[in-house]
Structure 1
Amino acid sequence: MTITNQKSIKNRRILSGILTCTALALAYAPIPGLNQKIIVVSGTEFAEPLQQIETQFEQKYPQINLELKFQGSQDIINNYIDQKNDFNPTVLIPTNAALLDELNQRWQSQNNTQAFYQQPKAIAKTFLVGIAWPERGKILFPNGKFSWQQLEKAMEAGSWQKIGGKQQWGSFDFITTDPTRSNSGQITMNLWAQSKGSKNLNTPTVESLFSTVKRSVYLPPRSTDILLQEFIARGPNDADVATVYESIALYRWQQSGAAQNKPYQIYYLNPTVETVATAAVVRRDVNGGTANAAGKFVDFLTQPEQQKVFVQYGFRPTHGNIDLLSVTNSPWNQNIPGAQVNPQITTLPAPQPSVLGEIQKLWQRVQ
């Protein structure tokens, strides 16, 4: 081979390398003058804080346009995997990180690739709690502590008069979300089943429990925030006790007082489950440049100022060691009955995807 040919081959290789690097750079860098659109799908309990953060993010990144969508957390997973959305999501933020594990497992079984561009990031956390209207809470939980056993007895009795309440209170009405669509309903049924002393869901005792709850909860809401808004609107006599996230229970507490004169009381479950809302940038129909923009949004959510916004809406921060009482307009400074900065409770890990699947199947199976 001549020296001239060797130089020619070397030059072509250099040029090829330059073109490859340029192509990658263009794929991940926004084109000047063009806006990028990212669609964020989160649980409904994040509607208000994300709408506030959206404005702040777009001020910092005017070339990135956010579009927010809200669904029940299990719906987020099912709709994405089954392609039931009429849009292409960029970022998914279910209330529970375990749901992203479920999504990734289901995705890999169908596609043999990772579902996400990068490791999902925790953005906020909360507990599952109980709420009840004050007079009813005193009858149902006389020692001031939430009890699954007392709740089940009340459901089996069917009326307040049979458990020591007033006749005019009428029927006993418990509300939880649909476990096939919402994570709070799944956690509710999992904790309730565990209170029976067994982690095995496929027992006659647990099946009987699921059947009792399913018969008692008429048309369970598809998401936790929708549940709480219905609970407040319906008030005592139509909605007595519910399980919701601490975050929205704190955030909507004043609203309950305005609507029903006496706001509800919060009861911490012991044990409970701490759910960690986690954001993931998905791969399907998302190019590198859009993924890069979405990554900026996810990182933005973890910054101190945005973490404080989450605190204002009742969430606990996952970054920054933020003092809950130091944040302006923190609900922990509002003397909400039952609310505690550091409740003395045991927190359990979120149920694994396999357990969530069993809960959904059992709920669908029982009558």
Structure 2
Amino acid sequence: MKKTNSKLQNRAFTSACIIVAALGLAYAPIPGLQQTVVIVSGTELQAPLEQLEAKFEQENPNIKIDLKFQGSQDIVNKFIDQKNDFTPTVLIPASGELLDELSQRYQAQNNSEAFYNQPQPIAKTLLVAIAWSERGNVLFPNNQFSWSRVEQAMQANSWSAVGGQKSWGSFDFVITDPTRSNSAQASLNLWAMSKLNASNPNNIDYNNPAITTLFSTVKKSVYQPPRSTDILLQEFITRGPNDADVATVYESIALSRWQQSGKNQGKPYQIYYLNPTVETVATAAIVRQNVDSGTANAAQKFVDFLTQSEQQKVFVQYGFRPTNNNIDVRSVPNSPWSQNIPGAEINPSAKTLPAPNQKGIGEIQRLWQRTN
């Protein structure tokens, strides 16, 4: 009887061990079976993606996310020219129009589709201007942004010439590098529209002498433009008034870094909505080049994860507008729209335009490169 009980206990113990081992195999990473998904994103998404990476890997232990960050135009160019020292799986530039450009260029070179599936929107934001409050009050009366006022200040190169204090010195406007960054391309496109009083962002005559002169003025005034928008904003905050007065950036990072500007400079900057402005939609695409179907499936899990409501709320916390219109940005914990940020609006009245198309981007880049 004792022997029988002992055998039964041994069998139960063995069965329990088998169950525990099976659970371990199901939920723990198996050496050799873990898949690595390389995400190449614009720098404006760096903070939320780094936060969401840890959560996703915890829920999907057999998938490792490897995040890389570049300027949005760099994402396209480096992929097409195969200049990366890694193999990208997912590309997430700031604008879906840049993926259209990549798809067309890739198909022309390879006669095949660039992506596994239709690219998916991840998060939205608007192009805005920022200025240190005291100087913005002088340059933009009634809080109305004006491209002509910025150009006037750049041409004068002096705050005193546009109503500012002489001690403020020269006027310093900042944008990113238009050959590498989507925000600068969108800024110059809107500026050209304003200059020509045009209504169509994709029907601008970049050979017009007035636009050539405008680009020359901007290029002479902008010294060593940063490669990405988040880097620009960090430099803007660090440099402060007298070295950086006005800039165009994404609303998302302007909101998420606003408190930092107050800590660094004593008085934070103010946000100004451009009218019209550009809505950019950070969009994810799973590439086919050197990516097998198993890795593509793992990548799709991550992209789908980013579009779920809980993850969309994380993007809201970093100043992005969700692709899910059912999410109220004010109800999200730690939402920047609940922090009384000067100039921030939940529903700005500005007309919203798409980012410039491939042809427009090409014209902007060519004119910038040949302008002195």
The question of a shared fold, defined as TM-score above 0.5 by the shorter chain, is answered with: yes
Percent identity between matched residues is 70
Structure 2 residue 243 is matched with structure 1 residue 244? no
- Give the Cα separation in 1 of the matches to 2:156 and 2:348: 31
- Give the Cα separation in 2 of the matches to 1:129 and 1:350: 13
Q: Contact 1:186–1:359 (CA<8 Å) still a contact in 2?
A: yes
Letter in 2 for 1:35: Q
Counterpart in the other structure of 1:111: 110
- Give the Cα separation in 2 of the matches to 1:164 and 1:352: 37
Counterpart in the other structure of 2:336: 331
Q: Contact 1:304–1:320 (CA<8 Å) still a contact in 2?
A: no
Q: How much has 1:162 moved relative to structure 2? A: 1.1
Counterpart in the other structure of 2:226: 221
Q: 1:232 aligns with which of 237, 245, 262?
A: 237
Structure 2 residue 258 is matched with structure 1 residue 259? no
Counterpart in the other structure of 2:143: 144
Counterpart in the other structure of 1:97: 96
Letter in 1 for 2:344: A
Counterpart in the other structure of 1:279: 284
Q: Deviations over 1:33-55 (max 9, x none)?
A: 61000100000011100000001
Q: How much has 1:164 moved relative to structure 2? A: 1.0
Letter in 1 for 2:280: T
- Give the Cα separation in 1 of the matches to 2:162 and 2:358: 37
- What is the TM-score when the length of structure 1 is the normalising length? 0.91
Counterpart in the other structure of 2:77: 78
Q: Contact 2:43–2:71 (CA<8 Å) still a contact in 1?
A: yes
Consecutive unaligned residues of structure 1, counting only runs of 5 or more, are 1-29
Letter in 1 for 2:338: N
Q: Deviations over 1:58-100 (max 9, x none)?
A: 0111100000000000000001000111000000000000000
Alignment of 1:11-22 (within 5 A): none
Q: Deviations over 1:90-116 (max 9, x none)?
A: 000000000000000000000011100
Alignment of 1:66-215 (within 5 A): 66-196=65-195, 197-198=197-198, 199-215=204-220
4+ residue runs over 3 A deviation: 30-33
Q: Contact 1:123–1:319 (CA<8 Å) still a contact in 2?
A: no
Q: Deviations over 1:232-258 (max 9, x none)?
A: 000000000000000000000000000
Q: 1:182 to 1:86 in 2, by over 3 A?
A: same
- Give the Cα separation in 2 of the matches to 1:153 and 1:326: 41
Consecutive unaligned residues of structure 2, counting only runs of 5 or more, are 1-28, 199-203
Q: Secondary structure at the match of 1:143?
A: helix
Q: 1:285 to 1:31 in 2, by over 3 A?
A: farther
Q: How much has 1:294 moved relative to structure 2? A: 0.3
Q: Deviations over 1:185-235 (max 9, x none)?
A: 000000000001242222100011001000000000000000000000000
Counterpart in the other structure of 1:344: 349
Letter in 2 for 1:187: A
Q: How much has 1:301 moved relative to structure 2? A: 0.5
- Give the Cα separation in 2 of the matches to 1:230 and 1:31: 43
- Number of positions where the alignment pairs a residue of Structure 1 with one of Structure 2: 338
- Give the Cα separation in 1 of the matches to 2:177 and 2:251: 18
Q: Secondary structure at the match of 1:116?
A: coil
Counterpart in the other structure of 1:315: 320
Q: How much has 1:142 moved relative to structure 2? A: 1.2
- Give the Cα separation in 2 of the matches to 1:162 and 1:149: 14
Q: 2:274 aligns with which of 258, 266, 269?
A: 269
Q: Secondary structure at the match of 1:335?
A: coil
Q: Secondary structure at the match of 2:109?
A: helix
